[in-house]
Amino acid sequence: MRYAKRGRLRFTSHRDFGRAFERALRRAGLPMAYSSGFNPHPRISYANASPTGAASEAEYVEIGVVESCDPADVRARLDDALPAGLDILEVVVAGPGALADRLEAGRWTVALPGVDPALAEDAVAAFLAETSVDVQRMTKRGMRAFDCRAAVVRLSVRTDEAAGQMCAILDVVVRHGTPAVRPDDILAGLREIAGLEAPVPPLQTRLAQGPLDPETAGVGDPFGPDRDAQADAGDR
């Protein structure tokens, strides 16, 4: 399944979403598969959830069921059971292979209200000219330093003007890895290299996740193999 976090619901943590999603599964009455043992849990697998506070149009989750279900019916029932802002966008029957392995990269936009686009372009040019940009982030194991430049496949700036205020919009494609490089890390790198100060907090939106096309630096559709498997099954 592909789902979105929109509006105020972008501040929902991954744990909060997990609880809401399990309640929605029960309300939707789906024939869930459960783990074995003394404390069975519904078979749910989340893939690369976005940070709390970031909006997203490309969050992914897999569920196990004990009987065949119509994807359109599953989408409608689950979407009705979730609050507005947590929206089920697409459901497909899973084919062979792990979905998480197909999420090689993500595409983000980062809105910087009040930031001069010309200054943002200069900062981006300076960032891309570097072979490595070290930043620090607090993790569960303490402060960690890592290179945020190597993961950036594409980074550009466009201009938007809303409510009479100039706004620079960063458009970035980031290769997934360990540690995962997030938009916050790239902003920290832009501040380190060129002194670009972003508003707090900037609006970050994940537009896509999927396989990385190295020739175009684009992000493909991770459901492609599943659709192909369904088409082949239909032909047979």
- Walk me through the domains of the chain, giving residue ranges and CATH numbers: 2-101 (3.30.70), 104-214 (3.30.70)
CB 112 within 8 A of CB 170: yes
pLDDT tens by residue, the chain, 236 residues: 999 999 999 999 999 999 999 999 999 999 999 998 888 889 999 999 999 999 999 999 999 999 999 999 999 999 999 999 999 999 999 988 889 999 999 999 999 988 999 999 999 999 999 999 999 988 777 888 999 999 999 999 998 876 567 889 999 999 999 888 999 999 999 999 999 998 877 899 999 999 999 889 999 999 999 988 887 766 66
Number of C-beta neighbours around residue 1 at 10 A: 20
CB 86 within 8 A of CB 9: yes
- 230 close to 95: Cβ distance less than 8 angstroms: yes
CB 68 within 8 Å of CB 197: no
